[in-house]
Amino acid sequence: MSIEENMKTVENNEEKETVSKNFIEQIIEKDLQDGVYDHVMTRFPPEPNGYLHIGHAKSILLNYGLAKEYGGKFNMRFDDTNPTKEKTEFVDAILEDIKWLGADWGDEVYFASNYFDQMYEAAVKLIKKGKAFVCDLSADEIREYRGSLTEPGKNSPYRDRSIEENLQLFEEMKAGKYKDGEKVLRAKIDMASPNINMRDPVIYRVAHMTHHNTGDKWCVYPMYDFAHPIEDAIEGVTHSICTLEFEDHRPLYDWVVRELEYPMPPKQIEFAKLYLTNVVTGKRYIKKLVEDGIVDGWDDPRLVSISALRRRGFTPESIKMFVELCGISKANSSVDYAMLEYCIREDLKLKRNRIMAVIDPVKVVIDNYPEGQVEYFDVPNNQENEELGMRKVPFSKYLYIDREDFMEEPPKKYFRLFPGNEVRLMHAYFVKCVSYEKDETGRVTEIHCTYDPATRSGSGFTERKVKGTIHWVSREQAVKAEVRLYENIVDEEKGKLNDDGTLNLNPNSLTVLNECYIEPSVKGAKPLDSFQFVRNGYFCVDSKDSTDENLVFNRIVSLKSSFKLPK
């Protein structure tokens, strides 16, 4: 099913209770009907070598959603079989992200490293069955012996070692007798297999490294393709959902669980990854951006890591909507980032207060308004959702408006403020520009207006109309804040990568505005609180740099987009 078709399905589902099943649901339901399994258990198994990104969200929500749909269990398990890149920092960040998305893993977090003893015994069992052997070939020699897609491989000269010798050598590997890379344990399958993954793959290697969970207990570690099916089988996973790049590895997955004779072998099912256009998800690229100081961490709001999206102001609901719109299929496809932006707009538009904020201020003086007087207007928090209630907004002689709302010599069809023109100050009065002041550089510094008391908002005034309405804030009561505006971190027009493989960075990906003024209703706003700033977009209080004394807002998304769901 295409992305466009999925969008239509999601829209139609708002009116229909029956929903067509995706291909994974169809497989699960057939397995349950046929008695292959009497329950459903899924898992999300990240390697703790970096932060999760938007693509992982699809897998998390899919696996958790399937377990919930069929009354089953969802395991949170770290595939921590490679100590070279894994850190406790990544473990903690991943758990925070998954909890934020709403996936409930129960009381226990699982680690592949907790099964290292069982994996070692599983390898011994294969050796005893004549299905594994210790090989002395180097990594380069193993690649050379493996053959190609068109030519079969050839057997290792160590393939016919006796079971007794293999057991002894493997025990010596475990005891630390050999250097890294000096020996490996390989499955004995078929060097002529058309699937290269089945040509006697390495299942254990020597690695004298400290592991984040097991410390220095082990100096041999299982390879992912060997460890993963064992983890699934030990935990009782029924459906091992993974992405398409593991499709060619499925025969090896099935071989491992079959040869180890697990009573209820799990079933691996592959689905298409989620690709977003012109975004950076590769850990290698993000790591370099962090190390080079281009971004301020894995949670920089210009990235699409889950922690970055959370910091920018995206909600779990918006990401769930996005994943649902993308759908589940076997065909790889790319999705425009604009669709993710559409989802956050849809989620926030009826939930958040719509307040006035001036992000590029110029001063306004209402010449005929009484000095020192302050009056308060009752303003709806969200004109489309009365349940959000009302708030009081102060008005006075001295205001700020956005600089783009005034022009000295306006073009045709410019209906905002200019000399001699009258506009409505949103929720307040009609004002007319009578003069303005400039500094020595020619920049407008102050605009003078007069107001008509009869035009107070809600008074029913109808004697004349104005075409323009602009937002404003009262200068004395306004809250000063920093506002950060974001663009894609890569240059979308020139493409994601330069010819040398480096990222083609957008120099305008971050704009910081240090002197912005917001109506006083934002006082006391906490990290990740979000609002709609009238005409400027949706904004979120930054969770890293904002304080009660110095508020910092990240723009989540602008108000307008060319993206629309298909009819």
Per-residue pLDDT tens digits for 315-344 = 999 999 999 999 999 988 889 999 999 999
Check whether 455 has a pLDDT greater than 50: yes
Phi, psi (degrees; rounded to nearest 5) at 258: -75, -45
Confidence band for 278, pLDDT divided at 50, 70 and 90: confident
- Amino acid identity for residue 306 in this structure: I
**Distances from the Cα of 130 to the Cα of 163, 166, 167, 187, 255, angstroms:** 6, 9, 11, 9, 14
101, 57 contact by CB (below 8 A): yes
Whole-number Å distance between alpha carbons of 490 and 493: 9
Question: What is the β-pairing status of strands 267-271 and 239-243?
Answer: parallel
Check whether 18 has a pLDDT greater than 70: no
State the pTM of this model. 0.90
Strand, coil or helix: what is 162?
coil
Which residue(s) pair with 538 in the sheet?
Answer: 532, 557
235, 74 contact by CB (below 8 A): no
CA-based angle 141:142:147, to the nearest 5? 100
Measure CA 287 to chain center. Answer: 16
58, 320 contact by CB (below 8 A): no
Q: Looking at residues 194-198, what average pLDDT do you find?
A: 97
Tell me the percentage of the chain whose pLDDT exceeds 70: 95
pLDDT averaged over every residue in the chain? 93
Confidence band for 11, pLDDT divided at 50, 70 and 90: low
Check whether 188 has a pLDDT greater than 80: yes
Nearest to 175 by CA among 128, 125, 217: 217
pLDDT of residue 142: 97
Q: What radius of gyration, in Å, describes the C-alpha atoms of the chain? A: 31
Count of other CB atoms within 10 angstroms of residue 544: 13
CA torsion, points 135, 139, 142, 148, in degrees to nearest 10? 160
DSSP for 448-482 reads EEEEEGGG-TTS---S---S-EE--EETTTPEEEE
| 479-499 per-position pLDDT tens digit | 999 999 999 998 877 777 777
Whole-number Å distance between alpha carbons of 267 and 74: 15
Whole-number Å distance between alpha carbons of 37 and 238: 7
Structure tokens at 304: 């699409």
Tell me the percentage of the chain whose pLDDT exceeds 90: 86
Domains of the chain (ranges; CATH) run: 37-276 (3.40.50.620), 354-478 (2.40.240.10)
Check whether 277 has a pLDDT greater than 90: no
Nearest to 257 by CA among 246, 249, 267, 270: 267
Check whether 8 has a pLDDT greater than 80: no
307, 93 contact by CB (below 8 A): yes
Check whether 17 has a pLDDT greater than 60: no
Instruction: Look at the block and give the residue holding tokens 């403020």.
Output: 417
Higher pLDDT, 566 or 205: 205
184, 134 contact by CB (below 8 A): yes
Nearest to 274 by CA among 339, 342, 348: 339
Whole-number Å distance between alpha carbons of 509 and 488: 6
- Amino acid identity for residue 132 in this structure: A
Count of other CB atoms within 10 angstroms of residue 371: 7
pLDDT of residue 491: 84
pLDDT of residue 444: 97
Confidence band for 6, pLDDT divided at 50, 70 and 90: low
DSSP for 193-260 reads -SSGGGSS-EEEEE----BTTTBTS-SEEE-HHHHHHHHHHHHT-SEEEEEGGGGGGHHHHHHHHHHT
Which H or E element spans position 82? none
CA torsion, points 462, 465, 471, 473, in degrees to nearest 10? -50
Which H or E element spans position 318? helix 316-326
335, 277 contact by CB (below 8 A): yes
Which H or E element spans position 352? none
Structure tokens at 403: 């600089």
CA-based angle 193:266:120, to the nearest 5? 75
Structure tokens at 63: 């696996």
Q: Is the sign of the CA dihedral 201, 204, 205, 211 positive or negative?
A: positive
Check whether 512 has a pLDDT greater than 60: yes
Which residue(s) pair with 368 in the sheet?
Answer: none
User: Phi/psi class of residue 87: alpha, beta or left (left: φ > 0; alpha: ψ in -120 to 50)?
Assistant: beta
298, 53 contact by CB (below 8 A): no
CA-based angle 403:409:412, to the nearest 5? 100
278, 252 contact by CB (below 8 A): no
pLDDT of residue 321: 97
Phi, psi (degrees; rounded to nearest 5) at 246: -95, 5
Phi, psi (degrees; rounded to nearest 5) at 520: -70, -5
Nearest to 326 by CA among 347, 303, 343, 349: 343
| 107-119 per-position pLDDT tens digit | 999 999 999 999 9
Residues in the chain: 567
Confidence band for 19, pLDDT divided at 50, 70 and 90: low
| 151-181 per-position pLDDT tens digit | 999 999 999 999 999 999 999 999 999 999 9
pLDDT of residue 14: 46
Structure tokens at 22: 């995706």
Q: Indicate the burial class of 327 (C-beta count within 10 angstroms; 0-12, 13-18, 19 or more).
A: buried
Whole-number Å distance between alpha carbons of 484 and 481: 10
Q: Looking at residues 240-268, what average pLDDT do you find?
A: 96
